[in-house]
Amino acid sequence: MSSLSSHPAASEVHLPKGPARSTLWDSLSMILNPMDFLDQMRSQYGELFLVPGFGRFPEVIMVNDPKAIQQIFTADENTFDSGVGLDLVLPLVGDNSLILLDGNRHKQQRKLLMPPFHGERMRNYGELICNIADQAIARQSIGKTFLARETMQEVSLETILRAVFGLKEGDRYQQILQLLTEMLDSFNSPFKSVFLFFKTLQKDLGPWSPWGNFLRKRELLDRLLYQEIQERRAQGNFSGEDILSLLLNAQDEEGQPMSDVELRDELMTLLFAGHETTATALAWALYWLHYRPDVREKLLQELQSIDIKTSDPTAITRLPYLNAVCSETLRIYPVLFFAFPRVPKQPMPLVDYQIPEGMMLTICIYLLHHNPEIYPDPKTFKPERFLDRQYSPYEYIPFGGGNRRCLGAAFALFEMKLVLATVMSHYSLELINPRPIFPARRGVTFAPAGDIALRVTQRK
């Protein structure tokens, strides 16, 4: 374990156990094969453990105990710095991203961005989401193989561009669609993801180098986003309900609007966080529904009780077994294995430990969701567990928690349920190769390793 002399009040520090030191292999294991690494660490050290620092990776306490999580999530928002441990997403989202902000600025931006993801505004998108999902599967010929994640990425990206950003069909729309997909595909494997974790690898060695290629895609995408921002500014009509209109209309306490750079960073944050995660969750859900025919049949029986085409979207999202399938999908392999890190601004108690100022705390969603005392037989996909029990917001946290809980959580679940209900009601699908599939790192998220190939066998 590294020395604690750098922390104030070192004599009062009482930390969880962990390995004596961290190696390059440990760091690579955490990046490339985190499930085995995390399972082994918990087996050896318990519900809280210390991971020593290595290179640019700081010393961190990994937290997966519900009582400790409750303490962190319910602490005063000024207890922690929360943006400091997220610099690896900076190349994707920019300095002004909500993800990287702290204090009053974070609070103000969060309040500003919240309305489109809740209430009536969100419900107004229901019909559009169903139509986008229907059209995505309708483009697949009977008997033709398609890839679940790729198709669901089309659905989620089209949803966020049209419903949340208010972008209209056209050349710019199609270019943004293509460029964002290509940019995120720069990190679509565990080995490509290493570029986000090691700054020494982030070198522009020309358009054919991995980082150089990513930078050029980002530059092209930035140009399109700035064009959209400037055209909307020139029109001067910010009355739309889309989020770009709200941001253009926003002013700070001194009456100043957001700059183009600030707008760009928040748009990139929402594009990245709002479609990459939902697409992955939908791909997993389609996998489980066709890997487990018993689960699929139960869901189809429930869906027969409602007319998807004429029903109010909110009625669809209240279906109990549909909710259970989505909840279990997000439990067994969460898209994000870790909640936003917190760094205490002063020494603090945490369950049986005394944590020094400046020590990074990271809540491990994956380990919490695989705690056998909370979720018996945690490696088994079992939606019924969400019908039998109500889990606390410190036991089930697919969207994180506290003041850093995912802003679009309600919208993501709303979209996920409507897409699944539409696809399963209108089409019969078949899993091409029914086999166990496990998560692999995809940038900062975790997606199915390998392709989930499906085919349409019937249009209902």
Q: Is the pLDDT of residue 430 over 80?
A: yes
Q: Is the pLDDT of residue 2 over 50?
A: no
Give me the pLDDT at residue 380, please. 97
**For range 251-255, the mean pLDDT:** 75
Banded model confidence at residue 189, pLDDT cuts 50, 70, 90 = low
Q: Helices 409-426 and 260-291 sit at what angle, rounded to 10 degrees?
A: 40
Q: Is the pLDDT of residue 3 over 50?
A: no
Q: Is the pLDDT of residue 73 over 90?
A: yes
Give me the pLDDT at residue 326, please. 98
Give me the pLDDT at residue 6, please. 41
**For range 336-359, the mean pLDDT:** 92
Give me the pLDDT at residue 10, please. 40
Q: Is the pLDDT of residue 331 over 70?
A: yes
Judge contact between 460 and 426, C-beta under 8 A: yes
Give me the pLDDT at residue 311, please. 79
pTM for this prediction: 0.89
Give me the pLDDT at residue 214, please. 87
> What residues have CB less than 8 Å from 431, skipping those under 6 apart?
287, 290, 291, 452, 453, 454
Give me the pLDDT at residue 7, please. 44
Identify residue 325 by its one-letter amino acid code: V
Q: Is the pLDDT of residue 389 over 60?
A: yes
Give me the pLDDT at residue 190, please. 65
> What residues have CB less than 8 Å from 312, skipping those under 6 apart?
126
Q: Is the pLDDT of residue 8 over 60?
A: no
Which residue reads 């707008």 in tokens? Answer: 263
**For range 29-35, the mean pLDDT:** 81
Give me the pLDDT at residue 9, please. 44
Tell me the two tokens of residue 20. Answer: 């004596």
CA nearest neighbour of 182 among 206, 159, 153, 162: 153
Which residue reads 């205490």 in tokens? Answer: 344
Banded model confidence at residue 54, pLDDT cuts 50, 70, 90 = low
Q: Is the pLDDT of residue 378 over 60?
A: yes
* CA dist list (Å): 76 to 65, 81, 223, 248: 19, 11, 39, 31
Q: Is the pLDDT of residue 12 over 70?
A: no
State phi, psi for 73 to the nearest 5 degrees.
-70, -30
Question: What does pLDDT average to over the chain?
Answer: 87
Q: Is the pLDDT of residue 26 over 80?
A: no
Give me the pLDDT at residue 4, please. 38
Q: Is the pLDDT of residue 132 over 90?
A: yes
- CATH number of the domain located at residue range(s) 10-459 in this protein: 1.10.630.10
Banded model confidence at residue 84, pLDDT cuts 50, 70, 90 = confident
Which residue reads 């294991």 in tokens? Answer: 29
Higher pLDDT: 95 or 278? It is 278
State phi, psi for 51 to the nearest 5 degrees.
-105, 110
